[in-house]
Structure 1
Amino acid sequence: MTPLLEPICTLAIDLTRPHEMGECPGGTRRIIPIVGGTAKGARINGRILNIGADWQTVQAGGLAQLDARYAIETDDGAVVEVISQGIRHMAPEVAERAAGGEDVPFSDYYMRTFIRLESGHPDYDWVNRSLFLATGGKRGASVHLEIFRIG
């Protein structure tokens, strides 16, 4: 049976300057603070709290391992934790364009994340029993993700 993807929300995640760790055994490491943003959609609406970060490891060949944790405070008062792990791959010429500040179309590279959401709020208990997938990419100083529940 092919799973269905239910649209949940769109995240616009605000970032600040990365903290570069340099070349480590697994690749080039950086920590990118998550300082705000928005969640808008059919099932989750609210703001992204200033309490998270994305720990990235960029390996030879341009493959980035993404590992982010942050939280959404919904418009109705719930706090939803976001645990996002995935990959991004850009061809060298695309990475050069992005590093130069160009707004590279998401279709020019691959970025997918597996997302777990968790909340203690009774109205959001459904997120504790679901798995999510995200697609998207970077736009300026933010990351935009379309979140889907895997049904």
Structure 2
Amino acid sequence: MANPTLETKYVFTVTALIGAVMSAGEIGTGVRRIIPIHGGEVKGPGLDGEGISGKVCALGADFQIIRPNELIELEAKYAFETDDGAIVYVENRGIRFGPVELLQKLKRGEPVDPQLIYFRTHPRFETGHDKYRWLMQHIFVASAARHTDRVIVDVHVVL
């Protein structure tokens, strides 16, 4: 018997509003940056078309290391609250990479076409709310885009 094939399905988008970049400086393996998350929204069809919507909580941050080759390793930790009261904790790890001149524009807060930057993540979710248990029972991947004041993350479930 063959293994099941892998497919993905779009389930929702997280729009995380972000604050000013803080830097801890060069730490020996790259430059450590911390970007606070101040809010945002979650919206999409969900797993079975029931929908999911809510607000990103005004807490958390994206903890990054910018490697010498400009590869950015990121680990965002935050939470969102659904419109029906579920609290969902999120850990989202990934990488962002592209042409050095475009990454430097992003660091300066200048706009860059998201199609020119490789920005992929694998979010993991935790919640005690029964309606959203599916978030803990599946693997997710995401495509993201960095803008001046926000990061937009399109989340897909691996089927």
Give the TM-score normalised by structure 1.
0.95
Query: Unpaired segments of 5 or more residues in structure 2?
Result: 47-51
1:6 aligned partner: 9
Q: 1:26 aligns with which of 23, 26, 29?
A: 29
2:49 aligned partner: none
Q: 2:137 aligns with which of 112, 129, 137?
A: 129
2:94 aligned partner: 86
2:127 aligned partner: 119
Q: In structure 2, what residue type is equivalent to 1:48?
A: V
Distance 1:6 1:134 in 2: 10
Q: In structure 2, what residue type is equivalent to 1:26?
A: T
* Partner SS, residue 110 of structure 2: coil
Give the TM-score normalised by structure 2.
0.90
Q: 1:105 aligns with which of 113, 116, 125?
A: 113
1:100 is displaced (CA, Å) by 4.1
* Partner SS, residue 112 of structure 1: strand
Matched, 1:142 2:145: no
Matched residues, percent identical?
35
Query: Unpaired segments of 5 or more residues in structure 1?
Result: none
1:62 is displaced (CA, Å) by 0.8
